[in-house]
Amino acid sequence: MQSYLRPANLLIVCVALVPVFVAASEAPSREALAAAGTAAGVLGLSLLLLAAVISVRVPRLDVWFGGLTKLWKVHHLLGAASFVLVMAHPLLLAFASARVSIEAAGTLLFPAAGAWSVWAGWLSFAAMAMFLAPTFWFFGQPEYQRWKALHALSGLAMLFALAHALPPAKDSRRALWLVYGGLALLAFIYRKFIAPYTARSGYTITRVETVNRGVVELTLEPEKKLLHYRPGQFAYLTPLDPALSSGRNEEHPYTLSSAPGENALRIAIKEAGDATRALQTVACGSRALVEGPYGDFFSARKAGAPALWIAGGIGIAPFLSGARSMTVENRTDIQLIYCVQDESRAHLIGELEAIALRVPRFKLTKHFFAREGALTGAFIAAACPDFAARDIYMCGPPVFIAATRRELKARGVSGARIQSEDFTWL
């Protein structure tokens, strides 16, 4: 809950409610059902437009929300709430009209051919249903690229919604819709048509190192300026290798495993689908585009505080970046628990062990599921006795993160001390 109380999130809530208060002030004496129907429509449109505004994905803007993963969760909540409210809007108005006559209610649910503003509202709802409904949990997880393509319908949904809302609105509310709608459409145009050409930088893949079965680490050298980033941040990678069997010209988020002081980027990639499987054999010398950095995993506000890092599988990537950044003179006390199935799955374990030998305040503990079972609070306490007083960072599969979070909270660790990262629907 605390992650949603950030100033940026509270600002979004306040801005979303402004049109609702304006609409209420314009018709203070409306019947309760009619007022509720109007409020649902106004708030639904407001949330839809604000969801579009924050999806602009400008590097470093996401830090205000606690990182891009948290910003996207807010975006998804806004979209889901908007869909429900827009669905309730005509129903509530129809129920209110039914008290006058069934015919009046029918004109809302089944508008006449010439009622173009009402039809615009229904077309907006239809577009929202097409791009939002597949993301609800009971439909299962849709295929990533199909989901991204469907999201292009969000632009139509916004245009139809504004065409529905603007004609009956009074001057004050119309001005608000023009401002909110203008910002949303600018964000949509930037992300879909401008950012692909201006926000990405060219890189050359100069090395493809097989780290383990199904895991490679790519080294990318910049064609111009190297990306400036902090440990734990990630970037969107768009490979351009024409020989790729899948994923060519598709952007996907990957954590940067290199240290900021290096003269190239390194990205560790585990085979987890068609695109990542193809990248296991991407050609050296081929080009790629990189956009970022994003994320706020190792918050700059907590730099230097004692920390416990808990990694599961390829979730070691942000901790690799952090460990590679450490020097002999490093004064931050870091304990890393690295959890994998067995020794054969411990990616780059030799390098981590070498860092632990070289840096006195960096301690590495290995946990093997095949031998020791699930990670427990008892194991964590044995490896790091003062874990409850440290800032705790976790990265790995969602099931692993959820189970470890439960173990930590059962031992009295405050949720405010736990930071986790996952890339679901980025």
Per-residue pLDDT of 314-360, as tens digits, reads 899 999 999 999 877 677 899 999 999 988 888 788 999 999 999 98
pLDDT attached to residue 99: 67
- Distance, in Å, from the CA atom of 174 to the CA atom of 165, rounded to the nearest integer, reads 8
136-140, 170-174, 364-368, range with the lowest pLDDT: 136-140
Query: Once rounded to an integer, what is the mean pLDDT over residues 106-133?
Result: 81
Instruction: List the single range of 102-111, 200-209, 226-235, 316-325 with lowest mean pLDDT.
Output: 102-111
- Give the residue range(s) of CATH 2.40.30.10 domains in the chain: 201-294
Residue 100, pLDDT above cutoff 70: no
Compute the mean pLDDT over every residue in the chain, rounded to the nearest whole number: 88
d(CA 390, CA 128): 44
Residue type, 77: L
CA dist 270 → 172, 192, 407 (Å): 53, 28, 26
Lowest average pLDDT, out of 29-33, 118-122, 137-141, 419-423, goes to 137-141
Query: Averaged over 72-79, what is the pLDDT?
Result: 90
pTM for the whole thing?
A: 0.84
**How many Cα atoms are found within 13 Å in the side-chain-facing hemisphere of 400?**
24
Q: What's residue 143's pLDDT?
A: 66
Confidence class for position 292, pLDDT limits 50, 70, 90: very high
**CATH code of the region 302-421:** 3.40.50.80
CATH level 2 (architecture), domain 2-198: Up-down Bundle (1.20)
User: Within the chain, which residue ranges are assigned CATH 1.20.120?
Assistant: 2-198
96 vs 140, more confident: 96
Where in the sequence of the chain do the CATH 3.40.50.80 domains occur?
302-421
Question: Regarding the domain with residue range 201-294, which homologous superfamily does it belong to in the CATH classification?
Answer: Translation factors (2.40.30.10)
What does residue 321 show for φ and ψ, rounded to 5 degrees? Answer: -60, -45
Task: Tell me which amino acid residue 153 is.
Answer: L
pLDDT interval class at 68 (50, 70, 90) = confident
pLDDT category, 404, cuts 50, 70, 90? Answer: very high
As a whole number, mean pLDDT of residues 407-418 equals: 90
Whose structure tokens read 């979004």?
A: 12
Give the model's pLDDT for residue 304: 72
Specify whether the CB–CB gap between 417 and 392 falls below 8 A.
Answer: yes
